[in-house]
Amino acid sequence: MNNSSFWRIALPILSVSSFLLFWSWYVHTSDVSAFVLPAPETILKALSEMIFDPKLWHHAKITLTEAVSGFVIAVSLGISLGFIMARVPAVEWAMKPFIVLLQLVPKIALAPLFILWFGFGLESKIVIAAALAFFPVFSNALVAFKSVDNGDRDVMTMLQATPLQRLILLDLPTALPVVLTGMEVSVVMAMIGAIVGEFIGGSEGLGYLAVAYLQELAVPELFGVIVVLTLMGLLLYTLIGRLRAWFAPWHASAEKA
């Protein structure tokens, strides 16, 4: 291992551990209440108890189900609508006002409405997650499908390709890298949507659990939930990143041939 790759690994470890040490030192030496800011080791202890409690995993599964379902709906709708609007200008013109309006509305503000319409169960959270996750995928898909090169389309015309063959052999592969970039943003939005939905109304999920711990003033456990949520988001984000490397390996090195 040469000098620079040693520091590349050593420095982040050093900075994170100094941060945690400072945090711990601050909590113990200042008169900040443990209810407001627990020390990192207190959070770790709470977390290590929580992970052996099936209750946590039950709630985590609920949140994950909501976020992933919402994400899948958003991706399917986003790609389909993006494709249709890119290919049929009339649809784009007709839909434009709605799209602009929906893009401007803070989607989070619609969350109570969705609870009202879809109830306190999973459905409303899935809808909120989908609503938040939709736009990054949709707008990227729209741009990506529009940017399919006319010269490449001429190639497919010369081959007498059917519309379906064009979609599978040209449009989707062209759009995929850009759509996957949108999906990376989307999956994080879907997590936010699911959690916000649970905050507002529900009896299950990590968002609900966080609120419940807050009401019990179980602050270390609240931090524990935040850590679990962060790890979950990281997992989903990494998964999409992997998907991108696997689906579009030409993209990293591709100047267009």
Interface positions with another protein (CB under 8 A): 151-152, 154-161, 165, 169-170, 173, 248, 250-251, 253-257
Burial 193-203 (b: 16+ CB within 10 A, else e): bbbbbbebbbe
- Rounded distance, CA 43 to CA 37, Å? 10
User: What are the backbone angles phi and psi of residue 247, rounded to the nearest 5°?
Assistant: -80, -35
Start-end of H helices in the chain? 3-29, 40-50, 54-87, 89-104, 111-118, 122-146, 150-158, 163-166, 172-200, 206-215, 219-247, 249-253
**Which residues are within 8 A (CB) of 165 and not within 5 positions of it... i.e. 6 or more apart?**
156
Whichever of 107 and 244 has its CB closer to another protein, that residue is 244
Please, what is the minimum distance in Å from the beta carbon of residue 250 to another protein? 4
If the CB atoms of residues 7 and 250 are measured against another protein, the closer one turns out to be 250
- Give the pair of three-digit tokens for residue 101: 């309006």
Q: How far is the CB of 149 from another protein (least distance, A)?
A: 8
CB of 167 to another protein, least distance (A): 12
Non-local (6+) Cβ contacts of 105 within 8 A are none
User: Whose Cβ is closer to another protein: residue 147's or residue 165's?
Assistant: 165
Residue 97 or 151: which CB sits closer to another protein?
151
Between 23 and 247, CB nearer to another protein: 247
Instruction: Say what angle helices 172-200 and 206-215 make with each other, to 10 degrees.
Output: 30
- How far apart are CB 140 and another protein at their closest, in Å? 18
Instruction: Please state the closest distance from residue 157 (CB atom) to another protein, in A.
Output: 6
Q: How far is the CB of 161 from another protein (least distance, A)?
A: 5
Q: How far is the CB of 164 from another protein (least distance, A)?
A: 11
User: Based on CB atoms, which residue is closest to another protein, 32 or 159?
Assistant: 159
Burial of 114 (0-12, 13-18, 19+ CB in 10 A): buried
Tell me the CA distances in angstroms from 147 to 86, 114, 171, 255, one per residue in order.
9, 35, 9, 15
Contacts of 185 (CB under 8 A, 6+ apart): 136
Nearer to another protein, 9 or 159 (CB): 159
Instruction: Count other C-beta atoms under 10 Å from residue 177's C-beta.
Output: 18
